[in-house]
Structure 1
């Protein structure tokens, strides 16, 4: 199944929804319109039960070169609060939430309530780095370069990077990255924890897809709820999590896959999950 978008492509294969950022001539730099399409698609995928895992990648030579500098500089058709002419009209909604769909894409990467796997190559910088950090697991090939590049062009981190980055690489490393804007090679990124799986050049998509297929074949209600619990655990107390886990356990136990999984265990056979 293929859905049509202007700045990204989407298809499903073996219960994996494959999202490809598709501005290769701009190294998939994020325009307002691309961010809108991404956020909108992720919102819809939450309700598409045939999609049990999501793979996020980029077309051409890079995953994502960050925000489109044409827009950030204030010179594009859509005004940028702060850098555009202060007398230039700005839509009311954008003036109140300047990050608009750029921030909402981060929100939807979590709210989609399904595992999201990143396949990285080339540049994964700025907002592209942020979106990669939001994903559940990151597969990258040896061409990958990562940078919290924001301060290099005089802007501050966005798209949730300041929340995710210190949780992934630790506070001192996160501070170094955002303060220096330094670019790191793939091997360095693996050592720092920015990359989970480093694979040979040109194989990131295949490796990420194999992993996503494996996840998609599991009991998806249990997997999705487990993912939700881990994210809740980042902002909750132990007492709260014990309550959440108790409630989630009852919800998951009512699924048909829970019955199949426990019955298969008793019968010493491989379970056949249906995602329900």
Structure 2
């Protein structure tokens, strides 16, 4: 039986997902993409997991598609269409990840390249260190962007910068990534996981239904007219107002104490 390429550990309300192919910098092969979708689906259904942290084992977050995997398939004579591969492997992965109502934090260690960069961008918040690099590497091997980069990249950095990064395929070092919006927080080397986990745990202790609704509203708002955004805000606020956490928040405020949210 092959070793798991994706690990899930639950601690303090946080589901820690670790990409586990460190010898190839967590490159994505068929097994990893399948297992990651399965783990994300498990996380979505687990009420004990109230926030998610994704990171990579070893020296890298994710180096993208495993080209060795593709090369082996070609040598065997297996036929595959890249469009079908994107539709069957990467699109479900990104849709499942971005569709989580729980907050998702990426602890981006080392390089995030190609589909690995797309994976990081599909998370809600990215923690990095000075050695982190983002690379929209698709053009380096004669391919266009995929795995959601065409969607997330311009929303994070703007149209012109997204085109420059995707067309050049150049490395984006940590300082620039932080400056242009590819990452939200930079921490010292050796403290990445602890800092990212502490933030994920902080969110897990919060009103996670409201956090999920906030996430949904902000994403919807980027694609809506003002009137549509206002109406959707009213809809999600109605849902938030029916939660235990709203009642607890109001009562805690009146009693001048810290609220004890349950994510319900």
Task: Using structure 2 for the length normalisation, give the TM-score.
Answer: 0.93
Distance in 1 of aligned mates of 2:247 and 2:239: 12
Asked whether 1:177 is paired with 2:155, we answer no
Find the counterpart in structure 2 of residue 80 from structure 1: 80
- Cα deviation for residue 228 of structure 1 reads 1.0
Cα deviations across residues 83-130 of structure 1 (Å, max 9, x unaligned)? xxxxxxxxxxx84x6431222111011112110000011111111111
Change (3 A) 1:181 1:9: same
Asked if structure 2 preserves the Cα contact closer than 8 Å seen for 1:121 and 1:142, the reply is no
Distance in 2 of aligned mates of 1:72 and 1:231: 34
Find the counterpart in structure 2 of residue 152 from structure 1: 140
Asked if structure 2 preserves the Cα contact closer than 8 Å seen for 1:169 and 1:193, the reply is yes
- Cα deviation for residue 196 of structure 1 reads 1.1
DSSP-derived class of the 2:54 partner: strand
Asked if structure 2 preserves the Cα contact closer than 8 Å seen for 1:70 and 1:76, the reply is no
Cα deviations across residues 121-144 of structure 1 (Å, max 9, x unaligned)? 111111111111111111011221
Asked if structure 2 preserves the Cα contact closer than 8 Å seen for 1:113 and 1:228, the reply is yes
Asked if structure 1 preserves the Cα contact closer than 8 Å seen for 2:86 and 2:146, the reply is no
Distance in 1 of aligned mates of 2:79 and 2:28: 15
Task: Using structure 1 for the length normalisation, give the TM-score.
Answer: 0.89
Find the counterpart in structure 1 of residue 193 from structure 2: 205
Asked whether 1:163 is paired with 2:188, we answer no
DSSP-derived class of the 1:242 partner: helix
Change (3 A) 1:98 1:271: closer
Find the counterpart in structure 1 of residue 234 from structure 2: 246
Asked whether 1:227 is paired with 2:218, we answer no
DSSP-derived class of the 1:75 partner: helix
Change (3 A) 1:76 1:7: farther
Distance in 1 of aligned mates of 2:230 and 2:243: 21
Change (3 A) 1:217 1:130: same
Structure with greater helix share of residues: 2
Distance in 2 of aligned mates of 1:236 and 1:44: 31
Structure 1 stretches of 4+ with a deviation exceeding 6 A read none
How many corresponding residue pairs? 261
Change (3 A) 1:177 1:72: farther
Asked whether 1:141 is paired with 2:129, we answer yes
Change (3 A) 1:79 1:233: farther
Distance in 2 of aligned mates of 1:201 and 1:76: 40
Change (3 A) 1:273 1:169: same
Uncovered stretches (5+) of structure 1, i.e. residues with no partner: 83-93
Change (3 A) 1:125 1:69: same
Which residue of the other structure, out of 24, 27, 30, is the alignment partner of 2:28? 30
Uncovered stretches (5+) of structure 2, i.e. residues with no partner: none
DSSP-derived class of the 2:38 partner: helix
Find the counterpart in structure 1 of residue 49 from structure 2: 51
Distance in 2 of aligned mates of 1:7 and 1:79: 24
Cα deviations across residues 68-89 of structure 1 (Å, max 9, x unaligned)? 112445537664315xxxxxxx
